């Protein structure tokens, strides 16, 4: 196809060590809180124009739709939870294919959640739909869900393994989890060109697919995983970076932003390498379909 962090440290640690560990925890917590706030703000700013630039997301949703149709008859009775609903592309599929279920659409970004609600206002049975601001890495759930679905959110989590474990806990027996995420084999063209010109690559780290699949193997009774390669064409290099910004995907998780002069140098050299041709960028989309 063309933080959460809630761990108490043992009291037997020496006083000086305990203070150092506590200070480290505070610094880590503050850093992750700040990063998550930036992620939420970035997506809120992008909400109005998101659909126009979300080409990769569109490809993922098409794959989701096919599988949702095939698995909806296999689900136990009960509500459906969407994690990271964005502007509502997957939400519309869930509401259309499962109109009689209670549906909870959640997102960490208030702007995205508001846009999702607006876009779904034309659908029937609004009494079956609810919206909630929620950190998908720390699912706050009281119901046991028949299905938890999430499209391209897992790569934004600090600890994807823990997030999937928590999601499993709030699934019913026989309930299903269906997630997609951007895998570590994405952006090969970006990494290659940066390596060639000795310019730091500021692409965010993506989940290690093999490691993640290994770590979650005992959480569920059955797991099916697969991947798709999506290649998106951009007229120029600057259009690729612009699309990251306009989809809220430009937030740096590792504080590795390039100075303006170095970014201009990268774009110029990269465009020269393309010799007037379009830039083709590779995205590795991974899927997890699991049953509790």
- What is the tens place of the pLDDT at every residue in 112-131? 999 999 999 999 999 999 99
d(CA 202, CA 256): 6
User: pLDDT-based confidence at 252, cuts 50/70/90?
Assistant: confident
**Residue pLDDT, tens place only, 205-222:** 999 999 999 999 999 999
Quick one: CA torsion of 284, 104, 145, 184, rounded to 10 degrees? 10
Dist. CA 204–CA 216, nearest whole Å: 22
Looking only at the bridges linking them, the beta strands covering 103-107 and 129-133 are parallel
Percent pLDDT > 90 in the chain is 80
> What secondary structure does DSSP assign to 212-234, as a single string?
HHHHTTTTSSEEEEEEEEEEEEE
Instruction: For 75-108, write each residue's pLDDT tens digit.
Output: 999 999 999 999 999 999 999 999 999 999 999 9
Whether 175 shows a pLDDT value over 60: the answer reads yes
Task: Please report the pLDDT score of residue 34 as a whole number.
Answer: 82
Task: With both helix axes pointing from N to C terminus, report the angle between 15-46 and 110-119 in degrees, rounded to the nearest 10.
Answer: 40
Rounded distance between C-alpha atoms, residue 149 and residue 269, angstroms? 41
Q: With beta carbons less than 8 A apart as the criterion, state whether 106 and 133 touch.
A: yes
The span from the CA of 227 to the CA of 208, in Å, is 13
- C-alpha distances (whole Å) from 60 to each of 92, 170, 263, 271, 277 are 14, 25, 29, 28, 26
Closest CA to 150 of 107, 193, 189: 107
- Domains of the chain, start order: 15-291 (3.40.50.150)
Mean pLDDT (the chain) is 88
Distance set, CA 56 to CA 27, 152, 164, 257 (Å): 34, 9, 23, 23
- For the stretch 8-35, pLDDT in tens is 223 233 333 443 433 343 343 444 458 8
Q: Could you tell me where the beta strands, DSSP code E, fall in the chain?
A: 80-83, 103-107, 129-133, 145-151, 171-182, 222-234, 279-291
Q: How far apart are CA 190 and CA 243, in angstroms?
A: 14
Helix, coil or strand: residue 257 = coil
Mean pLDDT of 126-142: 90
CB count, 10 Å around CB of 246? 18
C-alpha 129/C-alpha 90 separation (Å) is: 14
Task: Give the model's pLDDT for residue 19.
Answer: 39
The DSSP secondary-structure symbol of 144 reads: P
User: What pLDDT does 79 receive?
Assistant: 96
Q: Is the pTM of this model over 0.75?
A: yes
Cα 228 to chain centroid, rounded: 16
What average pLDDT does range 273-284 have in this prediction? 97
Of 44-53, 245-254, 280-289, the range with the highest mean pLDDT is 280-289
């Amino acid at each position: 196809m063309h933080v959460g962090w809630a761990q108490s440290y043992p009291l037997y640690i020496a006083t000086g060590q305990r203070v150092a560990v506590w200070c480290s925890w505070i610094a880590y917590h503050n850093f992750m809180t700040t990063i998550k706030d930036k992620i939420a703000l970035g997506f809120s700013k992008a909400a109005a124009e998101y659909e126009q630039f979300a080409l990769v997301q569109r490809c993922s949703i098409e794959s989701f739709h096919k599988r949702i149709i095939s698995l909806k008859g296999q689900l136990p009775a009960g509500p459906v939870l969407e994690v990271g609903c964005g502007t509502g592309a997957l939400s519309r599929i869930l509401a259309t294919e499962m109109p009689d279920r209670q549906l909870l659409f959640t997102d960490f970004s208030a702007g995205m959640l508001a846009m999702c609600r607006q876009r779904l206002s034309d659908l029937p049975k609004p009494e079956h739909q609810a919206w909630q601001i929620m950190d998908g890495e720390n699912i706050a759930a009281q119901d046991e869900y028949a299905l938890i679905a999430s499209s391209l959110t897992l790569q934004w989590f600090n600890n994807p393994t823990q997030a999937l474990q928590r999601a499993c806990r709030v699934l019913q027996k026989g309930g299903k989890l269906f997630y997609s995420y951007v895998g570590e084999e994405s952006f090969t063209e970006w990494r290659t060109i940066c390596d060639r010109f000795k310019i730091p690559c500021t692409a965010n780290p993506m989940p290690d697919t093999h490691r993640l699949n290994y770590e979650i193997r005992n959480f569920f009774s059955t797991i099916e995983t697969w991947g798709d390669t999506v290649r998106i064409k951009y007229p120029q290099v600057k259009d690729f970076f612009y699309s990251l910004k306009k989809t809220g995907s430009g937030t740096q998780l590792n504080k590795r932003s390039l100075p303006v002069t170095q970014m201009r140098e990268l774009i110029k050299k990269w465009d020269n390498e393309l010799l007037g041709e379009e830039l083709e960028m590779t995205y590795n989309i991974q899927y997890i379909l699991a049953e509790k």
